[in-house]
Amino acid sequence: MHDDLEEHLQKFGYDKTAHTEGLFKHKAQNITFTLVVYGFGIKYTEQEDANHLVKAVWQKYHLR
């Protein structure tokens, strides 16, 4: 499932960082997040960036 999600998020500009397993960063926006079992930890400065990530994941999985 992790590889499938990674491939999906790449379509939206999110890539895994080279040195920290499970940490993703957007190519252009100031947002990083880490995958946690059954959840996400997200760091962002702009609400629009967080909304972008939520929309990307929403297209793949139903979120509550």
Q: What does the pLDDT look like over 25-53, one tens digit per residue?
A: 999 999 998 877 676 778 899 999 999 98
pLDDT, position 4: 84
For residue 63, pLDDT over 70 is answered with no
pLDDT, position 25: 94
H-helix or E-strand spanning residue 51? helix 47-58
pLDDT, position 42: 83
Binning pLDDT at 50, 70 and 90, where does residue 64 land?
low
58 by Cβ neighbours in 10 Å (0-12 / 13-18 / 19+) ranks as: exposed
Beta strand pairing call for 31-36 and 14-16? unpaired
Model's pTM, two decimal places?
0.60
Quote helix, strand, coil % in the chain, to nearest 5.
35, 30, 40
Residue length of the chain: 64
